[in-house]
Structures are given as C-alpha cells and as structure tokens.
C-alpha cells in the first residue's frame, strides 16, 4: 500500500438518516475504485463496512467503520456511520477526524431526522458537505421535491451540480453542470460509463440549472461577483475555482445524484470529492498546548507529532484496537509514543490500515491519514498521543443514557463475567452505562434506546459468551411530604450494665422540588449535648433512603432539631441515632407523604402524516404536548411524559410510523404521581418486599 501525504488524502464521513443508502454507496465507491472485485449489497450481507454479525442480521450500520479507496492518485478514507439515533454518538465522533462530509439523502423520503442532526453537527465541526441524492432510481424519486425540502431545511446554498438523466426506473446517468457533459452508465451494475453531449431534450433545463449554479458561485465570492456583473457569466476556470472555494468556506453545498445499488453516477461523485472537498493538508486543527491555552495548526508532517484516538474496538481476540488520525507529524511501527492524556508511554506495535474488518500492516502512517493499532495499554477513546511537549485535543462528549433495562445472568455466578465483558464494551461505546441500583439492587444496563441495549446484549453473547435476560427496570420513584409536623423520638433500653437513652424532638417541613434533604440544628442550651446531635441526623438519613410508603427515598424536606433529653450515663451516639429514626417515622404518619415520579422531556421526529397519531398516543401516556415544529416533511412533537409510560415507547413508535419515526428523551423533573396510581405502586412494592421484610423494616 502506497504511503500518501496529507495533500493527497481526503477523509470523508458518510452520514445521513438510517436507510438512506450510505453503506451501499460505500460499497459502490470501493467497487468502482477497484478496491473490491464485486459490488457488495446490504441485503446480501456482503458489504465491506457492515461486517459485524449484528449489522448483517439487522441490515443496518450500527457502528462507524473505515474503508479506503484510491482514485486518481488520491487516497479517499471513508467512514461509514450509523444513521440510527441510538448510535448518533458514534457518527458524531467520526466527524472529529474527517475533512468533509457526504450527506446521503433518500430521493424519495427527502431529509429526515438524522439528516438534520448530522447537518447541525457537521456545521458545528465546520465541515464542508456534498449532498448525495441516493436511490434516484426508485419509484417516486424526485430531485425537485427533495431539493425544495432540503433548501427549506438548510437554505438555498444547497445547489445541484448535476441533473439526473431520466426519472425513477429510467434513471441512467447525470449531466455535469460544471463540465456540461452527460455521463450514462451500463444497466448491469458494472459501472461502465459513457461520456457524451447534453441530451437535446434537457438543454433548457440544464442551461437554467447551470445559470443558477454560476450565480450562486459568484454570490459566494466578492471578486467573482464583480466579474459576473461585468461579463454576465463566469469562465470555466473561475467557476471551478469559485465552487471549490465556496464549498471549503461552507457557502455552497453541491448536490449530486446517484444510484449505488445500480452503480450509476458513483464515479462522477468520486471526481466531485477530489475536485471540491478539501484535502487533509487544508484542515485547521484546534487543540490546547501544554499550558492549556488554545492553539491551532494546519495538518502537516512538520512539527511535534500529534495523534487523536477517535474510536476503540473491543475485539475478544486482538484485544483493544485504537482507531486514530495523525494530525501532525508521522508515526512508525514498533516505536514508543507518549499518551499525553494519561501521562504514560505507549509501545506501538504493528500499525494498521482498515478496510472494513480487513487489516493491512504498514510501517508508517503520515499526517492526515487514518489508521489503527492494537493492544495499547492505557489508551482509550478521546486520548491524545504524541511528543511529550505536544498539543492535547479536547476529549469528546458523550450523550447520557435515555433508557435503562435491568439485566440478570442466565447462568449462576456470571455476574463477574458480565462486569468484565461490559467494561470492555464500554471502552468501545462510552454511551453505555452499567451500574447496580442502590434502591432496587438491580443490575442496570443503560443506553440510547432499546435497540442500543439489545445490540449490547448481543455483543455480550457473541463476543464474550455471556448470556443475560433483559427486563423492564423499576422506575426510580421518590417519596416526599406535603405538610409540616412536629414529632418526638425516644429510644430507651435497659440492660444489665449501662443502658441506652436518647430523646429528640424534631420539626419536619416540605421543601421545593429538587432540594433533597436539609438538617438544621436549632437547639439552644444543652438539652442534647453537641456530640450527639449529628447522630440524630444520621439516623434520619439512614431511614429516609429506605422510604416510608413504598421503599423509595424520601426527598425535598427539612428536619429541624428543636429539643431533646439525655442521660449522663446511658446516652450515646447509637441511642440518638435510634431516636432520630423513631422521630422520622412518627413524623411521616402526619405529614401527608406522597410518591414522585420522573418526568422526561421527549422529542419525537415523525413524518407529518403521523403527527396526529403520535400526539394521541402521548396523551394516552399521561403526557403533555408542549408544541410542534414543522421541518420540511417532518414534524417534531415536543412533550413531557412520565418515565414509566416511556419504557415500551420505542416499539409503539416503530409500529405506528413503519420505523420512520425516532425520538429522544432526557430527564426533566419529578412530579407527584396521581393518587390511583400511587395505590398500585405501594401495593406492588409490598408484594415485592414480602410481609416478613416489611415487618423487619418496621
């Protein structure tokens, strides 16, 4: 494999909504570039970038993967990213190490939820984009309709640089509006291309589209605008130069048309990538110096080595595989490099180039290129490698989990194996969380959605031989009080020697939501010696976390210690801790306790035709619809819904919208549970606890 320098490398992320044809497009690119001998197909499970068993079974990309193509003396690194909202963080991480984006948009569905999210993220990363209209051969495919939706969502700077020849099943090629040439393709999927003149019947439409393109290019550059006003058009040289400049500055977003399944117009897309998207050497990288001050530099082989690790793969055989981009300098196999994040040295073994799951060993990887290395000791996702006095890259941020499931091992004694395996998986996917709930004592697996958790469980079984059962978790309810009261707690016990004596009087009152617990010592004088007063608080703290109504922690209240009694001989810390527990339980009988439930902020993205059904379903889940936003053909429904009503929402949304809807939720606040539901919660808690345990707690 030839070693490329940064000026001959283009790092591109394929992004878009799930099902928009990204993986099929990657396969066609690799085939046309001669990297593979046959055109892989998603439905046959033989694509280069979807090689994981779970991806093949589900026919969807679930994890970002790398491939590369050599095209006209340029190396194009492709990162095929997942389009499911559950795996958005993986797609987001890929944008940290690329220089441009191919945004796949289905020619029938148009821009969808993840289209918008990836556009926003690419803009935040200041990345140039080419919009790729995919599946242009499908029934009801339309450039005009999709372009209108795109421009409505993202602005008029999305402009075609190609027009399709033929519509739907008659789609056979494209007219290049820059070169003013027609390219048609064989119907057998071979990618054989024929160059010709613009079809006569398309002349008027092509001329109008080219004029619009020329005007957009002139508008993006002041000097070209002057030429345009003087001459009424732009020269071919100015058009190409202005288009490249406009794309790099994100003032123009070219649109091209393809059918990857039929291998139509993929080669012109590769030419457009080389012509208009920036090279790796044109990338400006932001980082921090050793002192923490912000700095930036151009990707180059000169200067201190700087490497950013953007992803980790947990391989049960090869161990931890770190995927990286060399931002500056170069690295070589069998060398030592500093991990600047952990302040430790790492020994680099064999450096690898990845073509999907296929690994090719190379001696050196230069600035601008993507690579991988196995079995680094301390390095994890987001770490910086390089010279000891080099720059540090900001670590990525990962979304908090939105959904948890309780898991239990199928085989006895597998808890430790589960913990070890999940630790490895979390290295690969930091959006996964694994913990034991202190309230319910359940083992909880948390992630970005039901599919995310199911895929994680499948990895546990396939990679590490650990099988678990998934079940809905207990909702983290809380308890609180709604009235103030005073209470007394007296603990008195006489044994053969010293006895036990503690007496305290407390005032208990509610606090605003989110205040948790507050303890105030308001004793004047010595009715309780100073050294025993913290014991009263400790007794209340220990008791409140075990709950009163249904075993959930009691929150949002204040306890004021106002009086008490002690015995010079029999009083001690234990006595006053017990007195505090008794006083708390006594107060709870009169301060009208109630149960609180977590309320989630929910955003549902659905085709507008389904908005009414979605709102009706949310209302049926005790939700409150807060508003709606129209985004092209999609509607965003914003609502607040109790967590308990959202545990099975993903399945319902999939069934309602034919898998075209997605949602996101995060925690908002706690609210009081309706009385009729509180009765059910208390009854369920008592049944789970058992009468014997209940008596013991009392």
More confident residue, 204 or 569: 204
Task: Give the distance, in angstroms, between the CA of residue 673 and the centroid of all CA atoms in the same chain.
Answer: 31
Question: DSSP per residue over 107-134, as a string?
Answer: TTT-S-HHHHHHHHHHHHTT--EEEEEE
Examine the domain organization and report whether 459 and 498 are in the same domain.
no
Is the pLDDT reported for residue 23 higher than 90?
yes
pLDDT tens-digit map of 160-200: 999 999 999 999 999 999 999 999 999 999 999 999 999 99
Examine the domain organization and report whether 448 and 485 are in the same domain.
no
pTM: 0.80
Name which of 62, 49, 119, 66 is nearest 89 in CA terms: 62
Examine the domain organization and report whether 150 and 15 are in the same domain.
yes
Lowest-pLDDT choice from 112-116, 322-326, 432-436, 500-504:
112-116
Instruction: Say how many C-beta atoms besides its own lie within 10 A of residue 392's C-beta.
Output: 18
In a domain, 678, yes or no: no
**Mean pLDDT of the 655-669 span:** 82
pLDDT tens-digit map of 217-270: 999 998 899 888 888 899 999 999 999 999 999 999 999 999 999 999 999 999
Site of tokens 């029938």: 108
pLDDT tens-digit map of 134-168: 999 999 999 999 999 999 989 999 999 999 999 99
pLDDT tens-digit map of 78-99: 999 999 888 999 999 999 999 9
Examine the domain organization and report whether 182 and 153 are in the same domain.
yes
**For residues 646 and 449, what is the distance between their CA atoms, to the nearest angstrom?**
11
Instruction: Say how many C-beta atoms besides its own lie within 10 A of residue 514's C-beta.
Output: 9
**What is the CATH number for 577?**
3.30.230.10
Name which of 627, 633, 636 is nearest 609 in CA terms: 633
Name which of 268, 360, 352, 278 is nearest 28 in CA terms: 268
- pLDDT at res. 695: 40
- pLDDT at res. 191: 95
- pLDDT at res. 411: 84
Angle at 146 between CA 143 and CA 151, to 5 degrees: 115
Instruction: Say how many C-beta atoms besides its own lie within 10 A of residue 10's C-beta.
Output: 25
Examine the domain organization and report whether 370 and 502 are in the same domain.
no
Q: Which residues contact 316 (CB under 8 A, 6 or more apart)?
A: 424, 463, 464
**What is the CATH number for 441?**
3.30.70.870
pLDDT tens-digit map of 337-385: 999 999 999 999 999 999 999 999 999 999 999 999 999 999 999 999 9
Name which of 415, 66, 39, 466 is nearest 261 in CA terms: 39
pLDDT tens-digit map of 448-467: 888 899 999 999 999 889 99
- pLDDT at res. 692: 40
- pLDDT at res. 696: 41
Q: Which domain holds residue 278?
A: 6-282
Paired tokens of 663: 């949602």
Q: Which of 282, 315, 338 is the last residue of a domain?
A: 282
Paired tokens of 55: 């991806």
Is the pLDDT reported for residue 439 higher than 70?
no
In a domain, 681, yes or no: no
Q: Report CA-CA distances (Å) from 250 to 126, 225, 630.
A: 8, 17, 25
Paired tokens of 101: 């984006």
Longest dimension (CA), the chain: 112
In a domain, 691, yes or no: no
**For residues 331 and 350, what is the distance between their CA atoms, to the nearest angstrom?**
11
Examine the domain organization and report whether 531 and 661 are in the same domain.
no
In a domain, 395, yes or no: no
Examine the domain organization and report whether 24 and 76 are in the same domain.
yes
In a domain, 418, yes or no: yes
**Mean pLDDT of the 614-618 span:** 96
Examine the domain organization and report whether 573 and 606 are in the same domain.
no
Contact 452, 400 (CB under 8 A): no
Contact 613, 495 (CB under 8 A): no
**What is the CATH number for 86?**
3.40.50.300
In a domain, 197, yes or no: yes
Q: Which of 435, 454, 471 is the last residue of a domain?
A: 471
Examine the domain organization and report whether 125 and 240 are in the same domain.
yes
- Residue 697 pLDDT class (50, 70, 90 cuts): very low
Q: Which of 247, 264, 282 is the last residue of a domain?
A: 282
In a domain, 649, yes or no: yes
Site of tokens 């008490």: 564
**For residues 648 and 552, what is the distance between their CA atoms, to the nearest angstrom?**
23
Examine the domain organization and report whether 33 and 95 are in the same domain.
yes
Is the pLDDT reported for residue 105 higher than 80?
yes
Paired tokens of 463: 């990679």
In a domain, 682, yes or no: no
Paired tokens of 12: 């591109």
**For residues 85 and 663, what is the distance between their CA atoms, to the nearest angstrom?**
8
pLDDT tens-digit map of 544-570: 999 999 989 999 999 999 999 999 989
- pLDDT at res. 299: 95
**What is the CATH number for 646?**
3.30.70.240
Name which of 108, 22, 8, 31 is nearest 64 in CA terms: 22
- Helices 143-154 & 113-124 angle (0-180, nearest 10): 50
**What is the CATH number for 371?**
2.40.30.10
Alpha helix (H) ranges present in 111-265? 113-124, 143-154, 203-219, 222-231, 236-248
**Pairing relationship of beta strands 193-196 and 253-257 according to DSSP bridges:** unpaired
Examine the domain organization and report whether 561 and 455 are in the same domain.
no
Total count of domains within the chain: 5
- pLDDT at res. 473: 78
Examine the domain organization and report whether 304 and 360 are in the same domain.
yes
pLDDT tens-digit map of 379-423: 999 999 999 888 999 988 888 777 788 898 988 878 888 999 999
């Amino acid at each position: 494999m030839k070693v490329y320098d940064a000026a001959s490398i283009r790092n591109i992320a394929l992004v878009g909504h799930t099902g928009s044809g990204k993986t099929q497009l990657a396969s066609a690119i690799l085939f046309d570039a001669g990297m593979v001998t046959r055109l892989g197909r998603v439905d046959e499970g033989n694509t280069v970038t979807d090689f994981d068993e779970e991806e093949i079974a589900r026919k969807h990309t679930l994890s970002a993967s790398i491939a590369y193509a050599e095209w006209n003396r340029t190396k194009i690194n492709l990162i095929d990213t997942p389009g499911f909202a559950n795996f958005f963080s993986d797609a987001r991480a890929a944008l940290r190490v690329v220089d441009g984006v191919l945004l796949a948009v289905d020619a029938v569905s148009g821009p969808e939820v993840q289209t918008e999210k990836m556009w926003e993220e690419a803009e935040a990363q200041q990345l140039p984009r080419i919009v790729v209209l995919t599946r242009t051969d499908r029934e009801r495919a339309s450039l005009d309709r999709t372009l209108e939706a795109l421009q409505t969502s993202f602005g008029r700077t999305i402009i075609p640089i190609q027009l399709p020849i033929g519509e739907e099943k008659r789609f056979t090629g494209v007219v290049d509006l820059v070169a003013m040439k027609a390219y048609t393709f064989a119907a057998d999927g071979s990618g054989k291309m024929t160059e010709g003149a613009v079809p006569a019947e398309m002349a008027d439409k092509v001329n109008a589209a080219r004029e619009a393109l020329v005007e957009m290019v002139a508008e993006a550059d002041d000097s070209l605008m002057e030429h345009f006003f003087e001459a009424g058009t732009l020269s071919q040289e100015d058009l190409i130069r202005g288009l490249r400049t406009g794309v790099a500055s994100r003032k123009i977003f070219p649109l091209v048309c393809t059918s990857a399944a039929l291998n139509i117009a993929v080669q012109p897309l590769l030419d457009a990538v080389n012509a208009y998207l920036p090279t790796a050497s044109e990338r400006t990288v932001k980082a921090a110096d050793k002192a923490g001050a912000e700095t930036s530099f151009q990707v180059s082989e000169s200067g201190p080595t700087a490497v950013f690790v953007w992803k980790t793969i947990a391989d049960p055989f090869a161990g931890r595989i770190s995927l990286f981009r060399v931002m500056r300098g170069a690295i070589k196999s069998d060398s030592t490099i500093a991990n600047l994040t952990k302040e430790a040295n790492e020994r680099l073994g064999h450096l690898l180039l990845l073509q999907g799951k296929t690994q090719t060993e190379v001696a050196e990887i230069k600035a601008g290129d993507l690579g991988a290395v196995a079995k680094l000791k301390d390095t994890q996702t987001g770490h910086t490698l390089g010279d000891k006095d080099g720059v540090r890259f900001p670590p990525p941020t990962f979304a908090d989990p939105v959904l948890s499931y309780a898991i239990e091992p199928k085989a006895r004694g597998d808890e430790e194996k589960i913990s070890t395996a999940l630790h490895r998986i979390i290295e690969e996917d930091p959006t996964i969380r694994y913990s034991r709930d202190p309230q319910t004592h359940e083992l909880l697996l948390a992630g970005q959605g039901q599919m995310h958790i199911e895929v994680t469980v499948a990895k546990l079984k396939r990679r590490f031989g650990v099988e678990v059962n998934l079940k809905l978790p207990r909702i983290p309810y809380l308890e609180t009080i709604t009235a103030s009261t005073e209470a007394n707690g007296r603990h008195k016990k006489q044994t053969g020697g010293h006895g036990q004596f503690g007496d305290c009087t407390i005032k208990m009152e509610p606090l605003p939501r989110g205040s948790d617990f507050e303890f105030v010592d308001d004793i004047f004088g010595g009715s309780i010696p100073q050294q025993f007063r913290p014991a009263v608080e400790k007794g209340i703290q220990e008791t409140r976390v075990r709950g009163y109504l249904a075993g959930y922690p009691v929150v949002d209240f204040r306890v004021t210690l106002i009086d008490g009694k002690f015995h010079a001989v029999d009083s001690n810390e234990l006595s006053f801790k017990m007195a505090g527990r008794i006083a708390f339980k006594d107060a709870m009988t009169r301060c009208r306790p109630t149960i609180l439930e977590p309320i989630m902020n929910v955003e549902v993205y659905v085709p507008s035709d389904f908005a009414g059904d979605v709102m009706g379903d949310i209302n049926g889940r005790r939700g409150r619809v807060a508003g709606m936003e129209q985004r092209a053909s999609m509607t965003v429904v914003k609502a607040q819904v109790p967590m308990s009503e959202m545990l099975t929402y993903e399945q319902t949304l999939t069934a309602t919208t034919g898998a075209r809807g997605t949602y996101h939720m995060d925690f908002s606040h706690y609210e009081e549970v309706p009385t009729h539901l509180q009765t059910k919660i208390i009854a369920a808690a008592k049944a789970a606890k058992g009468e014997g345990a209940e008596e013991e707690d009392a």
